[in-house]
Every structure is written in structure tokens, then in C-alpha cells.
Amino acid sequence: MREVIVAGNWKMNATKEMTNTLVMGVLNGLSDVNAKVIACVPFPYLSQAVALTTHSQLNIGAQNLNTNESGAFTGEVSAEMIKDLDVQYVIVGHSERRSLYGETDKIVAEKIEIAINNGLTPLFCVGELLSEREEGNTEAVVGRQVRAVIDRVGIEAFRDIIVAYEPVWAIGTGVTATPEQAQETHAFIRSVLADNDNDIAQSTPILYGGSMNPINAEELIGCKDIDGGLIGGASLKADSFLQICRAG
Ligand code: PGA
């Protein structure tokens, strides 16, 4: 049995006060939650979030990292720095990074590699644009994104990778993939992993992301190959995030 994982992606939303309120709000509601819960907070608030969650059920993650170990890369943050803050998780290849900051499959694969080399667990995001879905290219696109990482780090590395399928047309739009659409693509992603190693494919968590909310979470997470969610908007309120956590 794969465990259910619910990860919040706060994106570029936080203050010290909000971090305190949201983290404490989630912590206070976790006693009846069985899922593994992660909050991916902006870099400046990682230390604060880690300090608030020591020895708790709430895990903290970052949202990005640089492909280099260290050096002259002004404004960038390394895997080693994230690990040094006692942060275990990092989102890699989110569609906003791919579309707004030019992250190619190659860059995403390099980021996954450096995350793993530094003992971090990547939340590796894949997903197609609306035009790609409409052209019938969902599997071609998602397959290419997954294979680029397998080719770089090898299938064994997927023992320490969480995959997130996020159809770009569903992110922040209020339009969710139907459970059938999501399940179909999740099964496809698992089959791509299984082409390389069936045991690893069966044990790799594949989360769904894209307008998941307290109303649709249970049905989505109930699908055979959907192992939880990566939540943007609905992770910014403790109540709605916790309701999704309880759906798992
Ligand atoms: P959303 O974002 O839940 O607001 O659609 C999901 C994500 O971008 O990870």
C-alpha cells in the first residue's frame, strides 16, 4: 500500500505572521489525519516553519533549488542550503517554473539529480498544457517529461522521488481534471516507470495537483493510481488544507 501524501504549495505567499498562523493552524488539526503532510513555503520562511514543526507530523519543503552545488549564482539557493535548514522536500519542475522561468526538461532533470545527491526528496512535477491535451498529446508530453528524469538519474532514484501530475490547464483555474482524466494519466505515468522497474513503479507516490479542493479531493484521491495531492490555493487556509488532508 502506498501512503497518501498531501503537500501544500504556498507559492509566493507568506509573511512571518501568516507563516505562524497557517503552520499552527495546520498543526492543531493534524491529530485525525493519517496522510503524510508537507507544506512547501517560500525560502525566507523555511527556518521559521521548521522551528514551528520540529517533532511534529507536518513536514516542510522548499519550492525550488539551483542546479549547481555552490558558487557565483547571485540570488540562487542550493540543495545543500535547503538540507542545512533541516528541510527534507523540494518542489522541482513546477509548471510555473517551466513556463515563467524557462526550466526545460534538462534543467528539471539536473535539479532532481542535485536534490537527490544532497539527500532531499523532490516533488517532481509534470503536466501538459491545454493545447497539448486538445491535440491528443498528453501522454507524449508527460512521458517525455518523466523519461527525461529517468534518463538522467536512473529508475532507482525514484525510490526517493514523489511525482506530481499537474495538468497546467487545471492549476489555479478552478477547473479540475475529472477523476477519470487524472486516473488515466496517473496510470500512464506509472506504466512509464514500470517500463523500467515494476516494483519501483508500484511504490512511487504520484500526487494530483490542479484546483484540488475540499469538495473534489476525496474522489480524486480515491482513484487507484492517485496517491494524494499537491495543493496551491486551498493550502493557504488551514481549514481547507486540513479537509483535503483528511480526504486521504
Ligand atoms: P492550485 O495549484 O491548487 O491553486 O491549482 C496547484 C499547484 O500549482 O501546485
Which grid cell is 159? 525510490
Confidence (pTM): 0.98
**Ligand 1 site, residue 235, Cβ cutoff 6 A:** no
Which residue, by CA, sits nearest to atom 1 of ligand 1? 232
**Atom of ligand 1 minimally distant from the CA of 230:** 9
Active site residue 55: no
DSSP 1: -
Which residue, by CA, sits nearest to atom 6 of ligand 1? 232
pLDDT in tens, 190-245: 999 999 999 999 999 999 999 999 999 999 999 999 999 999 999 999 999 999 99
C-alpha 7/C-alpha 89 separation (Å) is: 10
Buried/exposed code over 35-65 (b: 16+ C-beta within 10 A; e: otherwise): bbbbbbbbbebbebbbebbeeeebbbbbbbb
Helix spans in the chain (H): 16-28, 46-53, 79-84, 95-100, 105-117, 130-134, 138-153, 179-194, 198-203, 217-221, 238-247
Distance 9 CA to ligand 1 centre (A): 7
Distance 6 CA to ligand 1 centre (A): 12
**Ligand 1 site, residue 228, Cβ cutoff 6 A:** no
**Atom of ligand 1 minimally distant from the CA of 173:** 5
C-alpha 210/C-alpha 129 separation (Å) is: 12
C-alpha 142/C-alpha 180 separation (Å) is: 17
| Angle (nearest 5°) at CA 40 between 208 and 157 | 65
Please provide the average confidence, as pLDDT, over all residues in the chain. 97
Distance 69 CA to ligand 1 centre (A): 29
**Ligand 1 site, residue 211, Cβ cutoff 6 A:** yes
Give CA torsion, residues 185, 4, 87, 210, to 10 deg. 40
Which grid cell is 27? 498543526
Which grid cell is 21? 498562523
**Atom of ligand 1 minimally distant from the CA of 125:** 9
Choosing from 96, 113, 128, 166, the catalytic residue is 166
pLDDT in tens, 173-195: 999 999 999 999 999 999 999 99
Residues 225/206, Cβ–Cβ less than 8 Å: yes
Residue 163 pLDDT > 90, yes or no? yes
Which grid cell is 94? 513546477
C-alpha 132/C-alpha 126 separation (Å) is: 13
C-alpha 108/C-alpha 149 separation (Å) is: 8
Active site residue 166: yes
Q: What is the mean pLDDT of residues 147-157?
A: 98
Q: What's the burial of 163, exposed, middle or buried (CB within 10 Å: 0-12/13-18/19+)?
A: buried
**Atom of ligand 1 minimally distant from the CA of 234:** 3
Residue 170 pLDDT > 90, yes or no? yes
What pLDDT score was predicted for residue 194?
A: 98
Which grid cell is 186? 496517473
**Ligand 1 site, residue 193, Cβ cutoff 6 A:** no
Residue 13 pLDDT > 90, yes or no? yes
